[in-house]
Amino acid sequence: MPLTTTYWLEHAWLGSYAEPGVALDVTDGRIAAVRTGVDAPPPGATVLRGFTVPGLANAHSHAFHRALRGTVQVGSGTFWTWREVMYAVAQRLTPDSYFALARAVYAEMALAGITAVGEFHYLHHAPGGTPYDDPNAMGEALIAAAREAGVRITLLDTAYLSAGFGAAPDHHQLRFSDGTAEKWAERVSDLKERDGVRVGAAIHSVRAVPADQLSTVARWAEERRAPLHVHLSEQTAENEACHAAHGVTPTRLLADHGVLGPRTTGVHNTHMTEADIALVGSTSTGTCMCPTTERDLADGIGPAVALQKAGSPLSLGSDSHAVIDLLEEARAMELNERLRTHIRGHWTAAALLRAASADGHAALGWNDAGTLEPGALADFTTIALDTVRTAGPVPRLAPETAVFAASAADVRHVVIGGRTVVRDGAHVSVPDTAGALAAAIAALRD
């Protein structure tokens, strides 16, 4: 008979408010029962004091960008000058060094309460573009890293075929390119899903995949009912180049080639026309906002409110990992909109938590995660309510406290699939996460 473990949650978010005294029974990695009104821990229960929420989903990650933190803050520039520094780091990575870096990055995510990551993966081949003996060696390194860090991963294997509209890949981008979308599909089809692993697709951007090959990527994802993500209208320069090449916006181009739809997520969606917003919403295409990266790269503030009102589900990502803190991403989405409109209160704390949990998991193909209810995956995160940031508010305001006051540093416990990954603020299998990060990044400078 399967073993059942009981967790007693001092306070829990059950979708709209903080419920005191909740017992979760977990069997075979899933929540078997949720009992409210449990005033004291049942005998033998694991006690989680603080505010427990469903595990957070980081819907957009480039793991190797973590090596840029601090380095790219020197001087000034734009997204395009930042990109040159990023390319230099990408050139140094091997499957072994990428595993070491990603393992530490995913452990940092777990410490921040993240239980699933969408890895937008385009670093496929050796320098110069030569495939490894295993053409998916880099993707497999990421999968292995996530497994050792204890987090679920959706590997969004990315088609990246050109340097711009009609331009062949430059020397940096040869590592990214499979040559054609057909060859990309052949390679990625060899990746296998397994426990804790989903395989999805990504189009890097309309400038990086020729228009006549967009449908090949979309068809691959459709046949497998897999998530499909795409960087969309992150920069005004991309919009202008797309107009020059095709006479339409990137959003219209994607729609014309069958890319938009309910399993598709546009990442950033920053510089959109009203027609673009209506098109994204009417097709139920998702929007992944990455506010800490968008402000770090001076991208701009995207029309998240308008997109959601039009019908686009919102998720959140840490993207370039300027910081890894989904609570900050949720807070920043609201606060950015306040700055833009001079009005407060565009989303409730509950709505922001949903974007960071259930809606993020759905964008990554984990529709059975992101809620604390029977049948859901037993993935949950406990945020302390007694730190210098969170002490003071009454417990019923725990959702507001979590979103508008707490940070990743306030995460105390993380359970994924019924297994404790973070206990008392320390990662169980990567106890010296900071040391692992420092060593992995230092190795890329040698």
432 labelled catalytic: no
Task: Supply the pLDDT for residue 78.
Answer: 67
Report the amino acid identity of residue 324: I
| CA contacts within 13 A on the Cβ side of 41 | 13
CA 255, chain centre distance (Å): 23
Burial class (CB in 10 A: 0-12, 13-18, 19+), 174: middle
The string of pLDDT tens digits covering residues 383-431 is 999 999 999 999 999 999 999 999 999 999 999 999 999 999 999 999 9
The catalytically annotated residue of 178, 319, 379, 410 is 319
Nearest in space to 381 (alpha carbons), one of 147, 145, 48: 48
Task: Supply the pLDDT for residue 88.
Answer: 83
319 labelled catalytic: yes
Task: Supply the pLDDT for residue 165.
Answer: 93
Neighbours of 57 (CB within 10 A): 31
Report how far apart, in Å, the C-alpha atoms of 354 and of each of 65, 117, 149, 287, 404 are. Answer: 26, 16, 24, 14, 14
Task: Supply the pLDDT for residue 17.
Answer: 87
Structure tokens at 73: 């803050």
The string of pLDDT tens digits covering residues 329-373 is 999 999 999 999 999 999 999 999 999 999 999 999 999 999 999
Angle formed at CA 178 by CA 177 and CA 184, multiple of 5 degrees = 125
Nearest in space to 23 (alpha carbons), one of 11, 4, 9, 39: 9
Task: Supply the pLDDT for residue 89.
Answer: 85
Nearest in space to 60 (alpha carbons), one of 258, 251, 294: 294
Report how far apart, in Å, the C-alpha atoms of 69 and of each of 108, 172, 323, 355, 441 are. Answer: 13, 20, 8, 25, 10
Task: Supply the pLDDT for residue 344.
Answer: 96
Rounded to whole angstroms, how far apart are CA atoms 44 and 6?
A: 8
Per-residue pLDDT of the chain in tens (446 residues, 90 and over written 9): 679 999 999 999 998 889 999 999 999 999 999 999 999 999 999 999 999 999 999 999 999 999 999 887 776 766 667 677 788 888 899 999 999 999 999 999 999 999 999 999 999 999 999 999 999 999 999 999 999 999 999 999 999 999 999 898 888 889 999 999 999 999 999 999 999 999 999 999 999 999 999 999 999 999 999 999 999 999 999 999 999 999 999 999 999 999 999 999 999 999 999 999 999 999 999 999 999 999 988 899 999 999 999 999 999 999 999 999 999 999 999 999 999 999 999 999 999 999 999 999 999 999 999 999 999 999 999 999 999 999 999 999 999 999 999 999 999 999 999 999 999 999 999 999 999 999 999 999 86
Angle formed at CA 357 by CA 124 and CA 299, multiple of 5 degrees = 60
Structure tokens at 39: 């005033």
Nearest in space to 30 (alpha carbons), one of 57, 4, 56: 4
Nearest in space to 175 (alpha carbons), one of 227, 228, 226, 121: 121
Angle formed at CA 84 by CA 202 and CA 68, multiple of 5 degrees = 80
Residues 6+ apart with CB under 8 A from 195: none
Q: Is 298 left (phi over 0), alpha (psi -120 to 50) or beta?
A: left
Task: Supply the pLDDT for residue 375.
Answer: 98
The catalytically annotated residue of 257, 268, 321, 346 is 268
Rounded to whole angstroms, how far apart are CA atoms 404 and 318?
A: 17
Residues constituting the chain: 446
